[in-house]
Structure formats: structure tokens, C-alpha cells
Amino acid sequence: MGKLTGRTALVTGSSRGIGRATAIRLAREGALVAVHCSRDIPGADDTVATIEKEGGRSFAVAAELGVSGDVHALFLELERGLKERTGTATLDILVNNAGVMGGVAPEDVTPEQFDHLFAVNAKAPFFLLQRALRNLPDGGRVINISSGLTRFANPQEVAYAMTKGAIDQLTLHYAKYLGPRNITVNSVGPGITDNGAPVFDNPEAVAEMARYSVFERVGETKDVADVVAFLASDDARWITGSYLDASGGTLLR
Ligand code: NDP
């Protein structure tokens, strides 16, 4: 029996990258996992197929975040999927993973880019958590994917890093709010993680990026997924309101 048998989970942005690895990992531990995406339906279907091939349970949920009505649309599908499979809309584990990067020089960030980053990376997780309060049982888990960029400077990502700073505040304050219900709320901060983007096919770029970690490699998605799975488990019941560095020692450089 897995550590999450009988639990349900939503992993936003799990059609690829860290979210996909997390969904697969949570399903391996026995959770029924809602795999979310906005447009990457083939990717979400592939994550579901991979989970089912391993004997796990999963279903796909599509809803664009960062737009009006996003949370309502997501929960409509989520609750339908959960009720069909479990008879209830209980959601034990919420992983706020979906996010967009910035990669724009500080002087070039436009108000529109700034608003989009905040809408997807900060506003959506806030309102997803607010909505999930109806579904989360006592003892539930909330895991917010932050970034090592909240701890060290990269001017090209200033607006993006600001959104992740907001995520850490979401973690801190909600951890106190939900403590009386034994719900833990934590942030996980990845460093550079190979999410399958084209840059990770370039050996020179990868070698350059590997220098940030004391382990002299870039992160793999499962490096982060394993940390999320730990926080989702009973083993992590005494950890809340924390920021777990999952950057391969990037901050030590
Ligand atoms: P990817 O770009 O590989 O995947 C992003 C996922 O989020 C996709 O499933 C995508 O689905 C979904 N998504 C993006 N925008 C939206 C939206 N507007 N509405 C709904 N879903 C959306 O991301 P990573 O795996 O690289 O990153 C995952 C998380 O980890 C992010 O929060 C990121 O900020 C964080 N992180 C990543 C690092 C890295 O080096 N990879 C480092 C530090 C933090 P779709 O295409 O369908 O929209």
C-alpha cells in the first residue's frame, strides 16, 4: 500500500515538466490524481495514460488559469471527476504548480506581461486555495511551487520572482490559518530543472546551468516531485509554513 492510498490530489500544470513528474509520483503512492493543464490536452492525456499504465488512478482536467472564471471552470471539472470516482468531492492534496516564466530584462517588462505573470503564478493559486477550502478535509495538504529565485537575484526574472515571493506569503499566512484543521501548507523552491524545454537539448547551455548546483547538474523533474510527495505524506505532518529548498544546493554557491 502506498503512502497516499485513498487520498485525492490536484496537480495544476501537470501536462509536462515538474507537474507531470509530481502527478506520476503521487499516483505511485496510491493517490487518485487530477492532471490539469490549459491547452496541452495531449500532454495531460499522456500523463494520465502513463499513470494508468503503472496501475494508478487519474483523470484530466482542462482550464486556463489567469483568466476570468478560471477557478470556477477548474473546480466544475475537478468535482465532477472526483465524484464519479470516489462519490465525494473531497480533495486531500492541492499542488499549486502551474506557472509561467518571465525572462525579460527589468527595463523591458510591460504592464501586460507583469499582470499575466501575477494572474497565473500568484492570483490563481490564491483563489484555487480559497476555493479548495470547501474540499480539503482536516489533515489535508497544500504544496505551492515557488522558486529558488526568491532567494537569489536574477534581474531577467525580477517580475517572475516577485510572483513567487507572493507564493511564499500565501504559504506562510495560510499555514497559520489552516493549522487548527491540521492542514499543512508549504512551499517548494526548485532550482534550474530540466522540464523538457528546448534549451535542455543544448549541452553547452546545460553545462552552464549545471554550475549553479553544488551537485554540478541541472535538476530532474523527479528531484522536485519526490520532495512534493514527501510533503504530501503523513511523514511531513509536523512541517508547515516552510520553504523547502529543492535546488540542488544552488543557494550554497
Ligand atoms: P512547464 O512550462 O514545463 O509546464 C507548465 C505547466 O503549467 C504546463 O502543464 C502548462 O499547461 C501549465 N500552465 C502554464 N500556464 C498555464 C495557465 N495559464 N493555465 C493553466 N495551466 C497553465 O513548467 P515547469 O515544470 O518548468 O515549472 C513548474 C513550476 O515550477 C512552475 O510554477 C515554475 O515557475 C516552477 N519552477 C520551475 C523551474 C524550472 O527550472 N523548470 C525552476 C523554479 C521553479 P498548458 O501548456 O496546457 O498551459
Give the pLDDT score at 1. 85
Which positions are annotated as active-site residues? 160
- pLDDT mean over 211-237: 98
Q: Label residue 180 by pLDDT band (50, 70, 90).
A: very high
- pLDDT mean over 240-245: 98
Q: Which ranges of 183-240 does DSSP label H, i.e. alpha helix?
A: 203-210, 221-232
Q: Say if ligand 1 is within 6 A of residue 66 CB.
A: yes
CA of 41 to the centre of ligand 1 (A): 14
Answer whether 3's CB lies under 8 Å from 234's CB.
yes
Answer whether 194's CB lies under 8 Å from 220's CB.
yes
Give me the interface pTM, i.e. the ipTM: 0.99
- Can you tell me which atom of ligand 1 is nearest the CA of 96? 32
Q: Say if ligand 1 is within 6 A of residue 195 CB.
A: yes
CA of 87 to the centre of ligand 1 (A): 30
Q: 146 CB contacts (<8 Å, ≥6 apart)?
A: 164, 167, 168, 171, 187, 188, 189, 243
Q: How far apart are CA 164 and CA 168, in angstroms?
A: 6
Q: Quick one: cell of 140? A: 489535508
- pLDDT mean over 216-237: 98
Q: Quick one: cell of 126? A: 490564491
121-139 pLDDT per residue, tens: 999 999 999 999 999 999 9
Q: Say if ligand 1 is within 6 A of residue 35 CB.
A: no
Q: 34 CB contacts (<8 Å, ≥6 apart)?
A: 8, 9, 10, 11, 58, 59, 60, 61, 78, 81, 82
Q: How far apart are CA 215 and CA 238, in angstroms?
A: 28
- Can you tell me which atom of ligand 1 is nearest the CA of 164? 34
**Strands laid side by side in the 243-246 sheet:** 57-62, 32-37, 8-11, 93-96, 141-145, 184-190, 243-246
CA angle 57, 120, 147 (to 5 degrees): 80
Q: Which ranges of 145-196 does DSSP label H, i.e. alpha helix?
A: 158-178
Residue 72 pLDDT > 90: yes
For residue 225, give the 3-state DSSP assignment.
helix
Residue 61 pLDDT > 90: yes
Residue 30 pLDDT > 90: yes
Residue 222 pLDDT > 90: yes
Residue 37 pLDDT > 90: yes
Give the pLDDT score at 253. 79
Helical packing angle, 111-118 and 158-178, nearest 10°: 30
CA of 101 to the centre of ligand 1 (A): 8
Q: 186 CB contacts (<8 Å, ≥6 apart)?
A: 142, 143, 144, 171, 175, 231, 236, 239, 240, 241, 242, 243, 244
Give the pLDDT score at 251. 84
Give the pLDDT score at 99. 98
Q: Say if ligand 1 is within 6 A of residue 193 CB.
A: yes
Q: 75 CB contacts (<8 Å, ≥6 apart)?
A: 131
CB atoms within 10 A of CB 112: 8
The domains of the chain, with CATH numbers, are 8-252 (3.40.50.720)
Q: 127 CB contacts (<8 Å, ≥6 apart)?
A: 70, 71
- pLDDT mean over 153-173: 97
